[in-house]
Structure 1
Amino acid sequence: MKYKDIISKMTLDEKASLMSGKDFWQTQNIDRLGIDSMFLADGPTGLRKQAAAADHLGLNPSIPATCFPTAATVANSWNEELGELIGKTLGEEAVAQKVNVLLGPGVNMKRNPLCGRNFEYFSEDPYLAGKLGAAYIRGIQSQGVAACVKHFCANNQEERRMSIDTIVDERTLREIYLTAFEIAVKEGKTRSVMSSYNKLNGYYTNENIHLMRDILRDEWGFDGCVITDWGGSNDRVAGLCAGNELEMPTTAGETNQEIIQAVKAGRIKEEELDECVDRLLDLIFVTGEVYRRPHKSVLDEEEHHMIARKAAEESIVLLKNENNILPLEQCDKVAVIGDFARKARYQGAGSSIVNPTILENALDCLEASGIENIGFEPGYDRYGKTNRAQILKACSLAEKADVILLYLGLDEVTEAEGLDRQNMKLPKNQTDLLNALYDVSPNIVVILSCGSAIEMPWINKAKAVLHGYLGGQAGAGAMVSVLTGRVNPSGKLAETYSIDYEGTPSYHHFPGKEVSVEYRESIFIGYRYYDTADISVLFPFGYGLSYTTFAYSDIQVTADNVTFKVRNTGNMPGAEVTQLYVGCKSDAIFRPKKELKGFAKVTLTPNETKTITIPFDDKTFRYFNVKTNQWEIEEAEYDIMIGASSADIRLTGSIDLKGSKAPLPYDRNSLPSYYTGKVSRVTDLEFTNLLGHDIPGSKWDRSKPLDYNDTISQCQYAKGWVARFAFHAINFAYWFLRKIGKRSTANIIPMSIYHMPFRGIARMTGGVVNMPMLDGILLIVNGQFFKGVRHLLREKNRLKKQKAVFSTTDSGVSNRRFDTHEKD
């Protein structure tokens, strides 16, 4: 241990006190031993350090900071250097605001396009997500503060995220849902990891020994600190035994006492607690070092704004450009239509909300560009309400223009932490507007602002489509730069766009509505499914157009790398994202037709040629063998493919590998769907064969009393009439708030109330409600009204007395507030 001397001077109370927060954002301090508090803040779209009341859903404003494009946006740049630059800038702002730990990046997979937090994640591909995540981490940590990669792991839906059980086979877990985290740990060398809310195969992730110890600590060699998501602790001692050091936010000492009692009872050895304390101390002291020397406290906001602009420019994807309508000519008269042009949609909602230092809008940026804008009309209500008069005004303006710039997208309350989207469609009032404008003029350029994939049945009515995703505070100016040709678009999609939602592989198993969610599609998510099952898509993974063209040639494959040439065959400078895919020719083990195993972005002037080398690494040919329980290489011939997208392979080569001689992991006859890749309707028997055990029950047992890990939504069938009444009152409040147009307020209900487990009431209230009081609430919920009220009031008074006693003592250890609670 690094800090054995300090730990030897600590009391058991003091050790336990360090294991949970002092308040909502800070860790505990012990002044007599020189142990300072750390401050943790949300990110990484930008720093969200709150100056006033604390919350975890972005409901209160934070100190101004640069709002960068979201991870889903920057992923389209395919540029690790850019990711590192963003990370470095975030690190500088963290230091200026005296933040020790920046809570990001998020590297969860985009298993399903409706996940409400997809805007905060990079990709459907673990290799791309891992490489970009590691780049962010290196940049953040270069400034002396810590990154915290999240949410570890298999957290791919927002509905019931605090209690859902993710059922996934071991191979899929390793190859798809853990690889990005592995890269973040090994290559990014992240100093901290945030455990996710959900269960994984029956165990909460922060209590999962296989995940936390066998893989994270022993296999990957992670020696940093694991932090719970806010309110994400279930059994505090079980989490500590698994190596989850820091619980956030504070429980006002309640769980500290649980740790002390567990040590005294022998449930956990004090030496194990010491190891957890040592890792936390390392994070405190390492991130505190930057504040013990001179550092910037005032930053150049304009410089950081221009970095955000560069990030947005490189991430814009040109999806369609019929008859080269773009870039715009200076003589073009344009009509700007769409509410997002006036008030940009530039970031997601929830814990990543940033209070930007500067905020651009398209109208101002167009005026500065020299393009002749003949006028603006909003065209639609931002939140979906039909308004025929707005459409008529927009059409009247469009009649006078050469080109219509039509700004469309999803609103702020559709994509948000805590709830999933209901469908993949644009609001109907926006598509109605597009249809009406098409009757006036065919020269429509659609500019999209949304953080995730959408259906586009209307695309034939647009001559061009530019997707800016959520471009941050400088996104509007970046888009104008692309529209005018000052910047040649070079973004490529980091996720597949299916033709419709029904065609996605997880359509029948998303989201998990009750106990669990089953990942029946196994390794076949995103392009791995569409390419293998030969399913047509709207836009493939890795797709993106340019204002110039590129030619590929001269592929050479060696044992260590693939080399090839790329030439700019157009008349405009541009950048091309070249992509390495690998496919195994053997069919002895089911595998995707191709998988991304490398990429390189190259900038070329007209007629310039460059030679690109993409090295092979330890992930290029591996697969996880469930019989040997380790990574193996299959003896086979492998296709080496260089593409402009997963569906546009320009060059091919091959290589023969001897492999690791591992036994075959599967009985082919028991897994027919997986061997064809057609996994949209996997049977119970086949999924059981894949898992290697029976499928756990997925439905609530309504005959049992509700307990700590049941959700407030389950009050609908509670025995207590008070609970059922509360459930219907909550439902009515949600309906009523939406009805009167208060959608942001309405969303607070599913985000922070409806799907919260009862234990969350205690975990998220900082000691206002403790577990003994929660026992009283559960008695009321389960039909013992008077007994529950008595218990609740008794425990409330007891808590009040303990706080009064504590406030008169001299003790600096907050966990003395609580004794073990008694149950009736």
Structure 2
Amino acid sequence: MMMKNLTRYFKSIRLLAILLLLQTVCRAQSPAQNAPQLGKATVKQVIAAMTLEEKAKLLVGAGRGFGPPPPPPVPGKKDSAAKPAAPAGPMIGQTDQKVPGAAGVTYAIPRLGIPAIVVSDGPAGVRISPIRKGDSSKTYYATAFPVGTLLASSWDVDLVKQVGVTFGNEVREYGIDILLGPGMNIHRNPLGGRNFEYYSEDPLVTGKMAAAIVQGIQSNGVGTSIKHYTANNQETHRNTVNTIVSERAMREIYLRGFEIAVKDAQPWTVMTSYNKLNGTYTSERADLVTNILRNEWGFKGFVMTDWGGGRDPIAQMKAGNDLIMPGNPNQAKAIIDAVNSKQLDESVLNANVEHMLNIILKSPAVANYKYSDAPDLKKDAQVSRMAAAQGMVLLKNSGSALPFSGIKKVALFGNTGYDIIAGGTGSGNVNKAYTTSLAQGLQNAGLQVDDALLKAYPAYIAAERAKQPKPQRGMAMFMGPPPVPQMAIADADLQQDAANNDIAVITIGRNAGEGADRKLPDDYYLSDAEKALIKNVSEAFHAKGKKVVVVLNIGGVIEVASWRDGVDAILLAWQPGLEAGNAITDVLSGAVNPSGKLATTFTMDYKDVPSAKNFPGKEYPDQATGEGFRRQMPAEVTYEDGIYVGYRYYSTFKVDPAYEFGYGLSYTTFNYSNFKLSAPVFKGKLTASVTITNSGKVAGKEVGQLYLSAPAAKLDKPVIELKGFAKTRLLQPGESQTLSFTIDARALASYDTAQEAWVAEAGNYTASIGASSKDIKQTAAFKLAKEMVVEKDEQALAPQVAISELKSK
């Protein structure tokens, strides 16, 4: 009896132990089971349920060492959650999580329904790995769209939005949540290595183009990241350079484009730049990241660093830079330690997390979107081709050399006629399935390319490439191979080419990108071989009464004044994307009438550029640290040109450019008439209108450009500033269209740092309508009766040292 009772007792004990164990397991699991889920609970409820570690990790990207969180423990399975995830890939633009080749991911918190979101380069097309795990049976190529400078040269916001819609579909269908673009820094200097990514020297054009492509991309339910915020106008020492610039220049030139993009399009994210701004890294400046961006402009998304940007994660958190990319565990630990030691209030993290979760909530990742990995690349390529042709600029066309008429045989000279440059290097590069060369484009249009040249150039280029050393690791691989020297053409061969062909087309190519700025010799200026090629070809063909056309396949401005008189036509094709050759041929042949206008000035010489004297600034080698690719050199650049960037300088100081801002020819002509204002006195708003008529013989489009000249009794001002632009539809010969522009109070105002306000001075204003900044067609005057304070702001970004800024008087 006693044994039975004892047996029952032990059974009861075992049963109780099992029940206690099950209860413990259930309790361990219940927080995850009952925790609020993103998308079902409010964002604030989700934040309240997050641990300090989870908050810190969400605010630090998972690209370098976190990997995904471990799975929850499985009852009864030993060490089921003990193994940490493997670290992710290298810093520059690589992750194998979800989308191989994407730039990075955020940290996932599955227990709260917070997924990892994928971010990917780049501004001219999705930049991901085209081949995965060595299996080429399925590819993941993307469309290379025209570079930003070409899109801006279209002056067509509807076109750019259409490109964005197409672009955003590829972002979504490749499983990406946020595209790291567009880039929208100002073309302060033509040697800027990433100018091709950016739109213009003018903040209005920059802001409107960025807003258009953001609207298009985000219409697909994916996000963008406008970058690099801000005053990141060079690549030289970009991680260490201290940009010294006045508050007025910041407000009117370098911030204005970002302001327009934020207010017009609400990009999901903003990316801070690498540089210091007046002594402090941009990602660590609360006045830039919170006061201006959020409080003044009403930005609703989250802010992320550039990859490896800034130095102090605590300062970044306090500034409102929500996400540190690509992220490493040390940064998360520093944030946790700062909260625990009371150096950082957890409420700061809560605000930053809220910014991020509000955007994550909108992402395809939250919706568990079943992306196809198969966008319609053939259809998208046609959009790229169409946009490319619309943004090309006809710089010269003597004797109606273009469009081709009666041309059957083309002598195509220049390396890039056969090895065309679709886009720039670095994070702006795109892994594309093909690039159509100009030779192919001409042949596709039924033109015959000289056979000897068609064989000689590819063979020469291949042989020269074989001689080049293999790229080193690090940034050298990111920057692409060096250019192949121009192939020399023997005089006897040239004479035969001139005899056998109807016309000569010479291509001049330039490329640049992330990590380095351009140089003057053999880059801004033509090489001796290029000059000789243009001279010799022109002489040979002109001697036989045949025309010579130069096609500029370039990403940034070059010197043209010294050689342009020797050729008959110059087509600025920029870097037109993967359908480059077809798009260029569309314009050369007349299938498309060029309607592009310069969004950046071509000067007569580099010395005419107002920033030439202090670009890229001073460096301090005695303070340098690190070696090789990781060498960091303290540097400093002072923006002594102030507000006088681009045409603002050339127009005010009467410096004649080779081709001015807003310039571009057409195969037809246009007449401007009936320019008028809605009232002679400004009372809050005015409307300007003009009628543009196609007075030529072929259909074409024209860009109307509205400039304003303001009284300058109190503040120094440029003589003209662009305040509006619009492009006509395709007008048939004799057809007219009336364009309208709104002039609001902000358009009249300049930033007065003494008042910390946008102020419109009382007096007489002149509105001008033009085909370019120099080619003004008509003017109209109006008056502002008394000074108007349009917007009052707080002091921000003030320089710590005096700046000797350029003044017009």
Q: For this structure pair, what is the TM-score category when the shorter chain's length is used for normalisation? A: 0.7 to 0.9
**Aligned CA distance change for structure 1 residues 688 and 498 (closer, same or farther; 3 Å):** closer
State how far apart, in whole Å, the 2-side matches of 1:286 and 1:33 are.
16
Query: CA contact under 8 A between 2:642 and 2:806: conserved in structure 1?
Result: no
Q: Which amino acid aligns with 2:361?
A: F
Q: Tell me the CA shift for residue 282 of structure 1.
A: 1.6
Query: CA contact under 8 A between 1:71 and 1:122: conserved in structure 2?
Result: yes
Q: How does 1:281-680 map to 2 (within 5 A)?
A: 281-288=357-364, 291-292=367-368, 297-375=373-451, 377=453, 383=483, 385=485, 388-389=488-489, 393-410=493-510, 412=511, 415-423=512-520, 424-442=524-542, 443-456=547-560, 457-514=562-619, 515-558=635-678, 559-602=685-728, 603-661=730-788
Unaligned stretches of 5+ in structure 1?
Answer: 55-60, 666-683, 691-824
**Aligned CA distance change for structure 1 residues 12 and 187 (closer, same or farther; 3 Å):** same
**Aligned CA distance change for structure 1 residues 272 and 376 (closer, same or farther; 3 Å):** farther
State how far apart, in whole Å, the 2-side matches of 1:495 and 1:275 are.
40
**Aligned CA distance change for structure 1 residues 632 and 311 (closer, same or farther; 3 Å):** same
Give 1:50's match in structure 2, choosing from 123, 129, 132. Answer: 129
Q: Which amino acid aligns with 2:298?
A: G
SS at match of 1:620: helix
State how far apart, in whole Å, the 2-side matches of 1:33 and 1:371 are.
62
Q: Which residue of 2 aligns with 1:794?
A: none
Q: Which residue of 2 aligns with 1:234?
A: 311
Deviations 1:351-407 (A, max 9, x none): 111011342112222122133434352678683536545676445323422310111
Q: Tell me the CA shift for residue 117 of structure 1.
A: 0.4
State how far apart, in whole Å, the 2-side matches of 1:545 and 1:689 are.
32
State how far apart, in whole Å, the 1-side matches of 2:44 and 2:789 are.
43
Q: Tell me the CA shift for residue 319 of structure 1.
A: 0.4
Q: Which amino acid aligns with 2:43?
A: Y
Q: Which residue of 2 aligns with 1:276?
A: 352
**Aligned CA distance change for structure 1 residues 661 and 312 (closer, same or farther; 3 Å):** closer
Q: Which amino acid aligns with 1:155?
A: N
State how far apart, in whole Å, the 1-side matches of 2:447 and 2:56 are.
63
**Aligned CA distance change for structure 1 residues 543 and 688 (closer, same or farther; 3 Å):** closer
**Aligned CA distance change for structure 1 residues 88 and 688 (closer, same or farther; 3 Å):** closer
SS at match of 2:702: strand
**Aligned CA distance change for structure 1 residues 472 and 200 (closer, same or farther; 3 Å):** same
Query: CA contact under 8 A between 2:415 and 2:487: conserved in structure 1?
Result: no
State how far apart, in whole Å, the 2-side matches of 1:152 and 1:281 are.
22
Unaligned stretches of 5+ in structure 2?
Answer: 1-40, 64-94, 96-103, 465-482, 620-634, 679-684, 793-800
Q: Which amino acid aligns with 1:346?
A: A
Query: CA contact under 8 A between 1:2 and 1:282: conserved in structure 2?
Result: no
Q: Which residue of 1 aligns with 2:273?
A: 196
State how far apart, in whole Å, the 1-side matches of 2:194 and 2:322 are.
26
State how far apart, in whole Å, the 1-side matches of 2:192 and 2:439 are.
31
Q: Which amino acid aligns with 1:640?
A: A
**Aligned CA distance change for structure 1 residues 179 and 685 (closer, same or farther; 3 Å):** closer
Give 2:105's match in structure 1, choosing from 15, 22, 26. Answer: 26
Q: Which residue of 2 aligns with 1:729?
A: none
Q: Tell me the CA shift for residue 265 of structure 1.
A: 1.9
**Aligned CA distance change for structure 1 residues 661 and 642 (closer, same or farther; 3 Å):** closer
**Aligned CA distance change for structure 1 residues 376 and 276 (closer, same or farther; 3 Å):** farther
Q: Which residue of 1 aligns with 2:475?
A: none
SS at match of 1:48: coil
State how far apart, in whole Å, the 1-side matches of 2:716 and 2:339 are.
47
State how far apart, in whole Å, the 2-side matches of 1:584 and 1:321 are.
35
Q: Tell me the CA shift for residue 647 of structure 1.
A: 0.5
State how far apart, in whole Å, the 2-side matches of 1:686 and 1:290 are.
49
Q: Which residue of 2 aligns with 1:748?
A: none
Which range is displaced more, 515-524 or 553-562? Answer: 553-562
**Aligned CA distance change for structure 1 residues 393 and 285 (closer, same or farther; 3 Å):** farther
Q: Which residue of 2 aligns with 1:754?
A: none
**Aligned CA distance change for structure 1 residues 40 and 376 (closer, same or farther; 3 Å):** farther
SS at match of 2:577: coil
Answering whether residue 206 of structure 2 is matched by residue 106 of structure 1, we say no
- The two structures have a TM-score, normalised by structure 1, of 0.77
Q: Which residue of 2 aligns with 1:159?
A: 236
State how far apart, in whole Å, the 2-side matches of 1:409 and 1:395 are.
24
Q: Tell me the CA shift for residue 10 of structure 1.
A: 1.1
SS at match of 1:106: coil
SS at match of 1:560: strand
> Equivalent pairs: percent with the same residue?
38
Query: CA contact under 8 A between 2:172 and 2:364: conserved in structure 1?
Result: no
Query: CA contact under 8 A between 2:758 and 2:789: conserved in structure 1?
Result: no
Q: How does 1:743-762 map to 2 (within 5 A)?
A: none
Number of residue pairs aligned between Structure 1 and Structure 2 = 661
Q: Which residue of 2 aligns with 1:796?
A: none
Query: CA contact under 8 A between 1:335 and 1:376: conserved in structure 2?
Result: no
Answering whether residue 335 of structure 2 is matched by residue 259 of structure 1, we say yes
Compare CA radii of gyration and give the structure with the larger one.
2
State how far apart, in whole Å, the 1-side matches of 2:268 and 2:107 are.
19
Q: Which residue of 2 aligns with 1:687?
A: 804
SS at match of 1:351: helix
Query: CA contact under 8 A between 1:144 and 1:290: conserved in structure 2?
Result: no
Q: Which residue of 2 aligns with 1:743?
A: none
Q: How does 1:718-737 map to 2 (within 5 A)?
A: none
Deviations 1:491-524 (A, max 9, x none): 0110000001011000101002313100001000
Deviations 1:214-240 (A, max 9, x none): 211111111211010001131001001
Query: CA contact under 8 A between 1:79 and 1:601: conserved in structure 2?
Result: yes
State how far apart, in whole Å, the 2-side matches of 1:626 and 1:586 are.
15
Deviations 1:258-314 (A, max 9, x none): 101111222221111111011111222211367435665432211101000111010
State how far apart, in whole Å, the 2-side matches of 1:285 and 1:294 are.
16
Q: Which amino acid aligns with 1:396?
A: Q
Q: Tell me the CA shift for residue 341 of structure 1.
A: 1.4
State how far apart, in whole Å, the 1-side matches of 2:145 and 2:786 are.
44
**Aligned CA distance change for structure 1 residues 134 and 285 (closer, same or farther; 3 Å):** same
State how far apart, in whole Å, the 1-side matches of 2:141 and 2:745 are.
42
Q: CA RMSD in A?
A: 2.3
State how far apart, in whole Å, the 1-side matches of 2:745 and 2:160 are.
22
**Aligned CA distance change for structure 1 residues 376 and 47 (closer, same or farther; 3 Å):** farther
